[in-house]
Amino acid sequence: GPTLKEVAGRKGLRVGNAMGGGPDRFENPAYRALTARECHAVVCENATKWTALQPRPGVFDFKAADAIFAWARKEGLKRRGHTLVWQEDRWAPAWLVQYDFGAQPGREAERILSDHINTVTRHFGDDLYSWDVMNEAVDPATGGLRDSVLTRKLGGPLAQIDMCFRLAKANVPRAQLVYNDYMGPEVGATKHRAGVLRLLEALKARGTPVDALGMQSHVGPWSDLEAKGGKAPFREWRKFLDEVTGMGYQIVISEFDVSDRALPADVTSRDVGVAARAKDYLDVTLSYRQVTDFFMWGMADKANWLRQQKNMAMREHGMPSRTTAFDDDLSPKPLR
């Protein structure tokens, strides 16, 4: 049958995969080949994060990212970056969180932030067509903007976020610049969605150079409704997408995978349930022509972070998670 990139290409949509490191991912030739066959583009799962690129103050290490992008270039795959800043302190490098900013903390914070963004964006230059500039700046519990070790010294989160985008724009003016976050159609995400909309409005009002909203799209479970036999509240989701696109933003589906929690334990039912969740989400979301990209966060079950990270499916089902379109042997599943 046709590949994902052929199917999506007909709709003007770019398909991508996040390439991680290690034996089930970048070091597996069959997985690399699957990615090259099915996708137009790749992003690094971890290798272009601040923790990876600047592991110690002022010390940059581009080896892992360069290797992935060199392979991608050779395969004719486009390349995007994730993420210049990840706002939550627990995902920032420990050295930065513990850093002694000295007598002029504002100046020192600005020096560190601009040094990181300038060095990284200049290193990759026009090789990357798109960048997540800022990741997860909205606190889902309140909808307010998170504070971090940098925001407190740079005039608050909005000023700091604005600064990040302007620094990126100055270095890679042709790249698509993205604000990335994980809100979904869940009832429980009402505050988060509202907070993301407020942030996008505020950035627009400031003239901050943001081109797109990245929606991570770690899909489901929509247990609040599914438990009652219903579906996710897509009316609210459409309203959200209407508002985002109404402000003139493009949309990047940046980290797609599907939770297999709260589904029957047998493999067949789980796979069918996962595919159904994906279809419900994508039928609505992909109906917006502003969606430019569809990136999977790993495209085989064993290469997806949910298996290692939380292993909630293992706890629930006593079996490893099945959250993507391809099985452990890289054969297609119902979602594909």
Binding residues vs ligand XIL (CB under 6 A): 45-46, 135, 216, 255, 305
Nearest to 309 by CA among 45, 16, 93, 35: 45
CA distances from 104 to 63, 109, 115, 153, 154 (A): 33, 9, 16, 9, 11
Give min distance, CB of 37 to ligand XIL, in A. Answer: 22
Please name which of 141, 138, 222 lies closest in space to residue 187, comparing C-alpha atoms: 222
Nearer to ligand XIL, 162 or 257 (CB): 257
The minimum distance between CB 297 and ligand XIL, in angstroms, equals: 6
Contacts of 133 (CB under 8 A, 6+ apart): 83, 84, 85, 164, 165, 168, 177, 178, 179, 210
Residue that has been written with the tokens 């060199």 in this structure: 70
Residue nearest to ligand XIL (CB): 305
CB of 305 vs ligand XIL, minimal distance in Å: 3
Cβ closest to ligand XIL, residue 91 vs residue 101: 91
Shortest CA distance to 55 belongs to which of 83, 108, 110, 93?
93
- Quote the CA–CA distance of 209 and 167 in Å, as a whole number: 10
Name the minimum Å distance from CB 306 to ligand XIL: 9
- The CA distance from 31 to 46, in Å, is 17
**Which C-beta is closer to ligand XIL: that of 39 or that of 110?**
39
Nearer to ligand XIL, 84 or 153 (CB): 84
Shortest Cβ distance from residue 142 to ligand XIL (Å)?
A: 19
User: What is the spatial distance between Cα 41 and Cα 16, in angstroms, rounded to a whole number?
Assistant: 4
Interstrand relation of 41-44 and 14-19 (parallel, antiparallel or unpaired): parallel
Neighbours of 49 (CB within 10 A): 22
Q: Shortest approach of ligand XIL to residue 13 CB, angstroms?
A: 21
Identify which of residues 216 and 285 has a Cβ nearer to ligand XIL in the complex.
Answer: 216
Residue 89 or 108 with smaller CB distance to ligand XIL: 89
> Residue 127 CB, nearest distance to ligand XIL (Å)?
20
Q: Cα–chain-centroid distance for residue 191?
A: 20
Phi and psi (nearest 5°) for 147? -95, 155
C-beta of 20 vs 185, nearer to ligand XIL? 20
